[in-house]
Chain A
Amino acid sequence: MNDLKRIMLVEDSVRDVELTLSALEEHHLANEVVVLRDGAEALDYLHQRGSFSARSPGNPAVIMLDIKMPKIDGLEVLRHIKADENLKMIPVVMLTSSREERDLIESYRLGVNAYVVKPVDFDKFVKAVSQLGLFWAVINQTPPGSVRKTD
Chain B
Amino acid sequence: MPGVNRLLNFSRHKAIALSCGLAVIAIGATVLVGWLTGSRALTAVMPGLIPMAPNTAIAFALLGTALCVLGGGRSWSRAVVRACVFLTLAMIVPRIIEFALGIDFKVDAWVIEVPHEELSGTPVGRMAFFTAICFLFASIVLFALALSARRRTVEALAGVASVTLTSIAVIFFFGYLIGSPLFSVGPTIPMALNTSFSFLLLGAGLISSMFDKRPFSPLPAELDAKMIRMHRMITTGFGLAFSTVLVASILAYENSVRFAENSELVSHSYQLLAESEDLVSTLKDAETGARGFVLTGNPDFLEPYEVARGRIGEQLLALKHLEKHHPHQQSRIDGLAPLMEMKIRSATELMDIFGLNGPTAAQKLVASEEWKTAMDSIGTFVSELQEEERSLLELSLLQQESGLSRSITFFSLLTILVIILFTALYLVIERGLTERQRAEVALREAAREIEDLYHNAPCGYHSLDATGTFVQINNTELSWLGWSRDEVVGKMRFLDFLTAAGTELFKRSFLKFMATGSIKDLEFEMKRRDGSTFWVLLSATALIDDRGNFIRSRSTMFDITDKHRALEELHLQTNLYETLLKTQSNLGQGVIMTEADRIIFVNEAFCRITGYPEVEIMALGSIFELIPAQKRDGGRERVTDFLRGGTVDNRREMVIVHKTGRLVDLEIASEVIRAGGPPRFIAIVRDITDRKNAERAMRTLNASLNRKGEELELANKELETFSYTVSHDLRSPLRHIGGFVELLQKHAGHTIDEKGNRYLEIITTAAKHMGDLIDDLLVFSRMGRTDLMNTRVDLTSLAQDVIQSMEPDTQGRKIQWKLGSLPEVLGDPSMIRMVFVNLLSNALKYTRTRSPAVIELGSRREENGDCVVWVKDNGVGFDMNYVHKLFGVFQRLHSSDEFEGTGIGLATVQRIMVRHGGRVWAEGKLQEGATMYCLFPHPEENIA
Where the two chains meet, the residues of A that have a C-beta atom closer than 8 Å to any C-beta of B are: 13, 15-16, 19, 22, 67-68, 96-101, 103, 118-123, 125-126
Contact = CB atoms under 8 A, between A and B. Distances in A.
B597 interface: no
Contact of A15 (B740, B768, B782): B740
A73 to B, nearest CB: 11
A125 B735 CA distance: 8
A3 B462 CA distance: 143
Interface string B522-554: 000000000000000000000000000000000
Contact of B739 (A19, A99, A100, A101): A19
Contacts of A101: 782, 786
Nearest to A22: B743
Contacts of A98: 724, 727-728
A123 B741 CA distance: 11
B731 A123 contact: no
Interface string B754-796: 0000000000100110110001001000100010000000000
B251 interface: no
Contacts, number: 65
Nearest to A16: B732
B291 to A, nearest CB: 223
A22 B735 CA distance: 14
A120 B768 contact: yes
B728 A96 contact: yes
Contact of B767 (A68, A120, A123): A120
A122 B727 contact: no
Chief secondary structure at chain B's binding surface:
helix
Interface in B75-111: none
Contacts of B818: none
Interface in B305-322: none
Given A19-B736, A121-B768, A121-B771, A97 B731 contact: yes
A97 B727 contact: yes
Interface string B718-761: 00000110011101101110111111000000000000000000
A72 B374 CA distance: 221
Contact of B741 (A16, A100, A122): A122
Contacts of B764: 122
A68 B743 contact: no
A120 B729 contact: no
The 6 closest A-B pairs by CB, nearest first: A120-B771, A122-B742, A122-B739, A97-B728, A19-B739, A122-B738
B731 A68 contact: no
B734 A123 contact: no
A144 to B, nearest CB: 35
Given A68-B729, A120-B731, A120-B767, A100 B724 contact: yes
Given A120-B735, A120-B768, A67 B741 contact: no
B729 A97 contact: yes
Nearest to B745: A122
Given A120-B771, A121-B771, A97 B742 contact: no
Contacts of A97: 727-729, 731-732, 735
A13 B778 CA distance: 22
Nearest to A66: B728
Given A120-B768, A121-B768, A99 B775 contact: yes
Contacts of B743: 19, 22, 122
Contacts of A99: 727, 775, 778
5 contacts: A15-B740, A97-B729, A101-B782, A122-B738, A122-B764
Contacts of B782: 101
Interface centre among A16, A119, A121, A123 (most CB of B within 10 A): A121
B778 A120 contact: no
Contacts of B771: 120-121
B782 to A, nearest CB: 7
Given A99-B775, A99-B778, A121-B771, A16 B731 contact: no
B778 A118 contact: no
A19 B736 CA distance: 8
Contact of B731 (A15, A19, A118, A122): A118
A68 B740 CA distance: 21
A68 B729 CA distance: 9
A100 B727 contact: yes
Nearest to A15: B736
Interface in B677-732: 723-724, 727-729, 731-732
B834 to A, nearest CB: 13
A34 B767 CA distance: 30
Contacts of B729: 68, 97
Interface in B131-184: none
A123 B768 CA distance: 11
Nearest to B738: A122
A11 to B, nearest CB: 10
B728 A123 contact: no
Nearest to B767: A120
A118 B728 CA distance: 9
B735 A68 contact: no
A16 B767 CA distance: 16
A66 B764 CA distance: 24
Interface centre among A67, A118, A119, A120 (most CB of B within 10 A): A120
Contacts of A126: 742
A124 B734 CA distance: 13
A22 B736 CA distance: 12
Given A68-B729, A101-B782, A19 B735 contact: yes
A110 B736 CA distance: 29
Contacts of B786: 101
A120 B727 contact: no
Contacts of B723: 100
Contacts of A123: 742
Contacts of B770: 120
Contacts of B728: 67-68, 96-98
A129 to B, nearest CB: 10
A16 B743 CA distance: 13
Nearest to A118: B735
Given A100-B723, A100-B727, A13 B738 contact: no
Given A15-B740, A68-B729, A122 B724 contact: no
B739 A13 contact: no
A16 B724 contact: no
Contacts of B768: 120-121
Nearest to B732: A97
Contacts of A16: 732, 735-736
A13 B28 CA distance: 168
A119 B764 CA distance: 13
B532 to A, nearest CB: 98
A119 B735 contact: yes
Contacts of A122: 735, 738-739, 741-743, 764
A126 to B, nearest CB: 8
A121 B775 contact: no
A13 B734 CA distance: 13
A37 to B, nearest CB: 15
Given A15-B732, A15-B736, 11 more contacts: A16-B736, A19-B739, A97-B729, A98-B728, A99-B778, A100-B724, A120-B734, A120-B735, A121-B771, A123-B742, A126-B742
A35 to B, nearest CB: 17
A118 to B, nearest CB: 6
Nearest to B770: A120
Contacts of B731: 97, 118, 120
A67 B724 CA distance: 11
A89 B255 CA distance: 187
Contacts of A96: 728
Nearest to A20: B739
Contacts of A103: 724
B738 A121 contact: yes
Query: In the complex, which of the residues B723, B724, B729, B775 has the most CB atoms of chain A within 10 Å of its own CB atom?
Result: B724
Nearest to A68: B728
A65 B724 CA distance: 17
Nearest to B778: A99
